[in-house]
Amino acid sequence: MSKKNKLDYTIFIIFSTFVILSFVLKFDQGIQVGKNFMLFAWDMIKILPPAFILIGLFEVWVKRETIEKNFGHTSGLKKYIWSILLAATTVGGTFVAFPVAHSLYQKGANFSAIFTYVSAASLLMIPMTIMEASILGLKFTLIRLGVSLPLVVFSAILLGNYLEKIKYDLPTKE
């Protein structure tokens, strides 16, 4: 077992011990931490399995050529539009966005398209945008999107160009 795995297990054991002792000793803050952790864990259990099934189907059903054509180096402005549309339909936030981004990368997507997708996934989820418009108003939402999306695309282009210039490649698992 590697040092990192030992550290991860040690931290988890310490956390679990703290939560259990908090319930035994009636330590309110520790009990609240345990309840919040279980609520978060339950949400992840409900979201992640269906999301990973869909990501697996995406891996199998979507051809590399399709990704290269629509998200690759030669796709021009189209890659940003597709990235934003894909991000808007992503459910599960960044928990799902990063595995999808990895899949896009493996299938030949351009760095700037991937950065646009990941950034837009946390910025433009359709349910969140609808709720925001109903609470803060449509004008506010449109202004926020009108300012944010061009900045996301611009920064994605800068970062993507930089990483391509230095010939960056994602590290592989050892």
75 and 153 both lie in a single domain: yes
2 and 32 both lie in a single domain: yes
32 and 87 both lie in a single domain: no
1 and 70 both lie in a single domain: no
- pLDDT (tens digit, 0 to 9) for every residue of the chain, 174 residues total? 788 788 889 999 999 999 999 999 999 999 999 999 999 999 888 888 888 898 899 889 999 999 999 999 899 999 999 999 999 988 777 888 999 999 999 999 999 999 999 999 989 888 889 999 999 999 999 999 999 999 999 999 999 999 999 999 887 665
The 8 Å CB, 24+ separation contacts for 57-65 are 58/100, 58/103, 59/103, 62/107, 63/107, 64/107, 64/108
Cα–Cα distance for residue pair 124/128, rounded to 1 Å: 7
pTM of the model: 0.79
In the DSSP assignment, the letter for residue 170 is P
Cα dihedral: 12, 14, 20, 25 (round 10): -160
Q: State which residues form the domain around 74.
A: 62-174
> For residue 52, is it within any domain?
no
The number of distinct structural domains making up the chain is: 2
> For residue 70, is it within any domain?
yes
> For residue 11, is it within any domain?
yes
